[in-house]
Amino acid sequence: MTDLATHLATLAPHLSDIRTRGIPNHINGQACSAHSGMTFQTTSPLDGSLIAEVARSDASDVNTAVQAAKTAFDTWHTTTPTARKAVLHAIADGIEARAHEIALCECWDTGQAYRFMAKAAQRGADNFRYFADLAPGVQDGQSLPSPGLMNVTTRIPIGPVGVITPWNTPFMLSTWKIAPALAAGCTVVHKPAELSPWTALILSEIAKEAGLPPGVWNLINGIGHEAGRALTQHPEIKAIAFVGGTATGTAIMAQGAATLKRVHLELGGKNPIVVFDDADFERALDATLFMAYSLNGERCTSASRLLVQASIADRFEAALIKRIKIIRVGHPLDPNTDIGPLIGAAHCDKVSGSIRRAQTQGATVTAPNVPTDGPKTFIGPTLVTNATNYMDIARHEIFAPVLTSIRFTDDADALRIANDTPYGLAAYLWTSDINRAMRLMDQLDAGMIWVNTANLRHLPTPFGGMKASGIGRDGGAQSFDIYTEQKHIGIATQDPHIPRLGV
Ligand code: NAD
């Protein structure tokens, strides 16, 4: 039985355990407090209740973790790829064994609805299996012969790397970065977001139980501008794989500049879903609702701007309003809930402020399903109409279940509005005209474009954005670009001419 009461009963012992133990760091295979003994609190977005005291690391804790990762690198990068593959599969087994617990803890820590989080752990396990299987090929290179030379390329792991992740879907995103780093032969210092650090601890415990050697993966908890900053500035950290907001990504580039840090940035988005009047109306409607409101809208690839052709806009917006009235807002652990509480009161205040500003700028706000008696962290599915692309609500990433509808006349108008944003992460196109779709695919400023479908991930495909949405791509062997150095080796096959000096 998977009802709310059962979920709460299953979660209770885990909650009691974590409250007692707290969330420590995990360095060199050992759980440890911050050197200073300082902690901060992580609380449930549902009711603000304490989940646990969390180690508040400073630069000295980060340094201890980095030294452990540096020492472990010597053996981990020379471990055979087959052995690395075996450990990563064992981690995937461990994730699957604890998948239900991970889902419940993630919901409680982030406010995300169980309906969408139920599969998050499995997705994490899939990431580990996928990159485990790629491990034996990480060093593969090219053969590029030229007259008199046999040119070959190979790759070597770059060294200890830092992984910094956000609060919205922390478990899956951590695996998405850590699995390819370990497969490549790098060692890792991971700093999860301070607002939802619980499942990163579970993940590091699973890795230890799976036989990952001490120091290969170290967990550092802390505040972004303290522990996060120290990690990005550490000279022994060779690269930073970051998922988070654009402003933080910019700061990380600056912080890493003095040590020439390689950075891979997966940042924010303001993704358009473009619905033409020849689209399959019902499927486009389903996709719009799903991409705007699933995962609380706290999703980098969420469709937060609906661009709808004027000829169908009234009908499409009316159909959206009918449906958002029955989207279920409620307890994150209730399997019937579609939208749970947002991550915290501060985020909610920001979102409410953006909605109010849209109203003062002349937009119409329809939010038919906001609980009035619940905690302050609930924001129901919200539709903003009579909007233009110049309004703040259409320009800034809101990161909430808020969809702004903007009308367009023809292809050129749709393209202009879609691209008129600082971001370039994802775009969704709905049309039955394949020629139009092909033309727009070339012209849209987006790293990922889905045509007549919602966001469906296929792990070998490149994931990432253009413009303010980031630098670099994940997925397939591309994930190894950040974690490896490429080498060229030229071997003479004849005696090529060497100009003689000093004769
Ligand atoms: P955030 O940028 O505030 O924080 C992300 C991480 O960076 C946290 O661990 C934080 O502690 C750390 N951090 C903060 N300041 C730092 C600093 N100066 N130096 C080093 N680390 C620092 O992001 P968030 O609010 O946790 O997450 C939401 C954002 O993440 C949204 O913008 C969303 O679009 C983005 N996101 C992007 C993707 C993607 O794949 N493109 C996926 C998920 C989320």
Residue-wise pLDDT tens digits, 266-301: 999 999 999 999 999 999 999 999 999 999 999 999
Which atom of ligand 1 lies nearest, measured to the CA of 167? Answer: 26
* Ligand 1 site, residue 168, Cβ cutoff 6 A: yes
Q: Is 105 a catalytic residue?
A: no
Average confidence (pLDDT) over 462-478: 96
Average confidence (pLDDT) over 368-376: 73
Task: Spot the catalytic one: 96, 266, 298, 317.
Answer: 266
Q: Does residue 371 register a pLDDT over 80?
A: no
All domains of the chain in start order, with CATH: 4-267+469-487 (3.40.605.10), 271-451 (3.40.309.10)
* Ligand 1 site, residue 397, Cβ cutoff 6 A: yes
* Ligand 1 site, residue 448, Cβ cutoff 6 A: no
* Ligand 1 site, residue 399, Cβ cutoff 6 A: yes
Q: Does residue 135 register a pLDDT over 60?
A: yes
The residue among 23, 15, 67, 18 whose CA lies nearest residue 222 is 23
461-to-58, 444, 479 alpha-carbon distances in Å: 37, 18, 10
What distance in angstroms lies between residue 59's CA and the mean position of ligand 1's atoms? Answer: 19
User: How many angstroms separate the CA atoms of 222 and 74, rounded?
Assistant: 27
pLDDT at res. 487: 97
Which atom of ligand 1 lies nearest, measured to the CA of 223? Answer: 11
Task: Spot the catalytic one: 96, 300, 317, 348.
Answer: 300
Q: Does residue 375 register a pLDDT over 90?
A: no
* Ligand 1 site, residue 46, Cβ cutoff 6 A: no
- Residue 352: which residues within 8 A CB-CB, separation 6 or more? 379
The residue among 97, 160, 164, 163 whose CA lies nearest residue 124 is 97
* Ligand 1 site, residue 253, Cβ cutoff 6 A: no
Position 199 confidence tier, pLDDT thresholds 50, 70, 90: very high
* Ligand 1 site, residue 300, Cβ cutoff 6 A: yes
pLDDT at res. 352: 94
What distance in angstroms lies between residue 245's CA and the mean position of ligand 1's atoms? Answer: 4
* Ligand 1 site, residue 222, Cβ cutoff 6 A: no
**Could you tell which of 199, 248, 300 is best to mutate to test the pocket of ligand 1, judged by most ligand atoms within 8 Å of the CB?**
248
User: How many angstroms separate the CA atoms of 24 and 213, rounded?
Assistant: 19
Burial of 28 (0-12, 13-18, 19+ CB in 10 A): middle
Q: In this structure, which residue's CA is closest to atom 10 in ligand 1?
A: 224
* Ligand 1 site, residue 164, Cβ cutoff 6 A: yes
Which atom of ligand 1 lies nearest, measured to the CA of 269? Answer: 34
Burial of 209 (0-12, 13-18, 19+ CB in 10 A): middle
Which atom of ligand 1 lies nearest, measured to the CA of 232? Answer: 20
Q: pLDDT digits over 295-349, tens only?
A: 999 999 999 999 999 999 999 999 999 999 999 999 999 999 999 999 999 999 9
pLDDT at res. 368: 80
pLDDT at res. 1: 54
Position 376 confidence tier, pLDDT thresholds 50, 70, 90: confident
Which atom of ligand 1 lies nearest, measured to the CA of 252? Answer: 19
Q: pLDDT digits over 5-25, tens only?
A: 999 999 999 999 999 999 999
* Ligand 1 site, residue 191, Cβ cutoff 6 A: yes
Indicate whether this model's pTM tops 0.95: yes
What distance in angstroms lies between residue 412's CA and the mean position of ligand 1's atoms? Answer: 34
Q: pLDDT digits over 89-124, tens only?
A: 999 999 999 999 999 999 999 999 999 999 989 999
**Could you tell which of 168, 198, 459 is best to mutate to test the pocket of ligand 1, judged by most ligand atoms within 8 Å of the CB?**
168
Q: pLDDT digits over 60-98, tens only?
A: 999 999 999 999 999 999 999 999 999 999 999 999 999
* Ligand 1 site, residue 176, Cβ cutoff 6 A: no
Question: Mean pLDDT in the chain?
Answer: 96
Per-residue tokens: 94: 């461990």
pLDDT at res. 166: 98
pLDDT at res. 474: 96
The residue among 295, 289, 244 whose CA lies nearest residue 117 is 295
User: How many angstroms separate the CA atoms of 171 and 165, rounded?
Assistant: 9
User: How many angstroms separate the CA atoms of 212 and 210, rounded?
Assistant: 6
What distance in angstroms lies between residue 57's CA and the mean position of ligand 1's atoms? Answer: 18
Which atom of ligand 1 lies nearest, measured to the CA of 397? Answer: 32
Per-residue tokens: 216: 């290969």
Q: pLDDT digits over 20-62, tens only?
A: 999 999 999 999 999 999 999 999 999 999 999 999 999 999 9
